[in-house]
């Protein structure tokens, strides 16, 4: 069916790339049909495999299409530092992947820290920082404990559970409680469900390739989901304004004010809340999932970690003071985030002026993609990079730009402290009660959605009690072996 021009949205495609003078940076040949754009689309169809191959073939600075600086991929601490430390030169490329009408729900939802630059970004970040200060974060700890207790009550020893799905549900409930001060309502599409639908719709190939609001199209569903999510978030903002003084993050953002920056408008609150929820709960869920998978494949490490947890907590939930007193726990989480950073690559940074990177002169308009996943696998920084070795963190401290699970520099993830606390509360509580064992024959592979990476087929685990003898790990089918050496 040919769409009627009156029904089409007059919006330019964000996938158009600037035409720039060639560079001497090598990369794979340009796609025969679409040129550099074809290479970019191929990259996003399989970013992990593509980055692994590009780094192996071309080194730590690669053009996605040979000699075209429109899109580059850079790996390693020095490149990360050059790009992430200079927010004036490198702006975050803020366009969403689907062209949208002006003043529409997805346009408004996209107005967040991740999509702004310059003084707007600095002003919003200053207003938001108090909600994530150490003292404020510790106030969220009882809620994290309570939600985790509820999740554990639904997991019984002897059962077989998809722990990846269970971690997504747990993290979603933590986010709803701590970010918004609400509980999920059974039978209703609460903000967590809507956010999941929105993220999926935002990355729909059908919506990207055919961005026309016609009945029954993925694009129409995308716009409708965005409107529902925006309405749900606006209702939460209105509720918090009507009942001020809550202990949740949204209440703190509503209260945020200073003479220089003013306060966040309702529209800004909606955009920031959408970002915090979508970015926050999935990354935490995936980190927990990959950590439990790695422990299931390394029963000795899991046993040693369990002993440390028992000796420290004695069966009780952790307190704020105890979170820093379990070095084995800290090492396990750091090593898991090294091997499986929930955000394996960072979205484009576009240069606002000519610049130099790795000895190459590059033009204004060039864009750079960075990758914690690849930077975490450089053997000169992390020997035996594909091995799960928590002991490597004993007395070792790579630079902030060599190890960056939450990013680095002035735009480092504002919720890093909250996420770290959640991981260090939830994981010991889980391991105080259960030991996960991967079901025989379960296929474990990666799946990238947007810029996050989780298990494609879930993680079916047999739930065992802490005192049970753990079976020896079996060979694991799936492409997880591209990222970690097991056995």
64-104, pLDDT tens digit by residue?
999 999 999 999 999 999 999 999 999 987 666 678 888 89
Please, which pLDDT band fits residue 202 given cuts at 50, 70 and 90? Answer: confident
Is the confidence at residue 389, as pLDDT, over 80? yes
Placement of tokens 């021009």 in the chain: 5
Q: Is 38 within 8 Å of 45 (Cβ atoms)?
A: no
Number of Cβ within a 10 Å radius of residue 81: 17
Which pairs with CB-CB distance under 8 Å and at least 24 residues apart come from 239-247? 240/180, 240/181, 246/181, 247/139, 247/140, 247/143, 247/181
Number of Cβ within a 10 Å radius of residue 241: 13
Helical residues (DSSP H) of 161-217, grouped into ranges? 163-175, 191-202, 205-209
- pLDDT (tens digit, 9 = 90+) per residue, 291-325? 999 999 999 999 999 999 999 999 999 999 999 89
**Interhelix angle 327-339/299-313, nearest 10 degrees:** 140
Please, which pLDDT band fits residue 13 given cuts at 50, 70 and 90? Answer: very low
pTM of the model: 0.92
Is the confidence at residue 7, as pLDDT, over 70? no
Q: Indicate the domain borders of the chain.
A: 1-109+342-375
Mean pLDDT of the chain: 91
Burial class (CB in 10 A: 0-12, 13-18, 19+), 324: exposed
Beta-bridged to residue 453, according to DSSP, are: 448
Q: Which residues of 388-422 are buried (b: 16+ CB within 10 A; e: fewer)?
A: bbbebbeeeebebbbbbbbbbbebebbbebbbbbb
**Interhelix angle 266-297/163-175, nearest 10 degrees:** 150
Kindly tell me the sign of the dihedral angle through the C-alpha atoms of 91, 96, 101, 103: negative
pLDDT the model gives residue 11: 36
Strand-pair category, 90-92 with 346-351: antiparallel
Q: Is 426 within 8 Å of 132 (Cβ atoms)?
A: no
- pLDDT (tens digit, 9 = 90+) per residue, 99-111? 888 889 988 888 8
- pLDDT (tens digit, 9 = 90+) per residue, 336-370? 999 999 999 987 899 999 999 999 999 999 999 99
Separation of CA 218 from chain center: 24
- pLDDT (tens digit, 9 = 90+) per residue, 144-187? 999 999 999 999 889 999 999 999 999 999 999 999 998 876 65
């Amino acid at each position: 069916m040919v769409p009627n021009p009156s029904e089409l949205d007059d919006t330019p495609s964000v996938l158009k790339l600037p035409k720039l003078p060639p560079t001497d940076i090598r990369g794979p040949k340009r796609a025969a049909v679409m040129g550099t754009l074809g290479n970019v689309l191929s990259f996003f169809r399989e970013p992990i495999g593509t980055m692994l191959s590009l780094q192996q073939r071309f080194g730590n600075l690669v053009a996605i299409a040979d000699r075209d600086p429109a899109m580059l991929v850079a790996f390693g601490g020095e490149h990360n530092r050059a790009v992430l430390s200079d927010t004036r030169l490198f702006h975050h490329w803020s366009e969403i992947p689907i062209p949208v009408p002006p003043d529409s729900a997805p346009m408004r939802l996209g107005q967040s820290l991740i999509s702004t630059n310059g003084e707007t970004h600095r002003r919003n970040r200053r207003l938001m920082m108090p909600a994530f200060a150490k003292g404020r974060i510790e106030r969220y700890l009882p809620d994290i404990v309570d939600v985790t207790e509820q999740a554990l009550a639904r997991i019984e020893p002897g059962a077989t559970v998809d722990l990846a799905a269970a971690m997504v549900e747990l993290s979603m409930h933590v986010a709803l409680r701590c970010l918004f001060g609400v509980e999920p309502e059974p039978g209703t599409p609460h903000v967590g469900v809507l956010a999941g639908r929105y993220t999926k719709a935002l990355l729909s190939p059908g919506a990207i390739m055919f961005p026309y609001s016609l009945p029954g199209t993925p694009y129409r569903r995308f716009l409708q989901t965005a409107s529902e999510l925006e309405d749900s978030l606006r209702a939460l903002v209105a509720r918090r304004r009507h009942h001020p003084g809550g202990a949740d993050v949204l209440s703190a953002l509503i209260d945020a004010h200073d003479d220089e920056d003013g306060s966040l408008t309702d529209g800004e609150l909606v955009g920031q809340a959408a970002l915090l929820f979508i970015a926050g709960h999935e990354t935490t869920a995936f980190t927990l999932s990959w950590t439990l998978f790695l422990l299931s494949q390394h029963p000795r490490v899991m046993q040693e970690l369990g002993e440390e947890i028992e000796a420290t907590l004695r069966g009780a939930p952790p307190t704020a003071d105890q979170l820093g007193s379990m070095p084995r726990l800290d090492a396990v989480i750091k090593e898991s985030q090294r091997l499986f950073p929930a955000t394996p690559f960072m979205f484009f940074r576009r240069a606002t002026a000519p610049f130099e990177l790795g000895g190459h002169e590059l033009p204004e308009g060039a864009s750079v993609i960075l990758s914690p996943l690849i930077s975490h696998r450089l053997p000169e920084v992390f020997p035996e990079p594909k091995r799960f070795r928590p002991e490597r963190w004993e007395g070792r401290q790579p630079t902030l730009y060599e190890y960056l699970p939450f990013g680095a520099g002035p735009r480092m993830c504002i919720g890093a402290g909250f996420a770290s606390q959640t991981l260090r509360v939830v994981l010991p509580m889980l391991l105080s009660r259960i030991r996960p064992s991967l079901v025989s024959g379960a296929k474990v592979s990666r799946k990238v959605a947007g810029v996050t990476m989780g298990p494609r087929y879930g993680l079916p685990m047999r739930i065992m009690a802490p005192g049970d003898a753990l079976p020896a790990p079996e060979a694991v089918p799936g492409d997880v072996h591209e990222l970690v050496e097991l056995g």
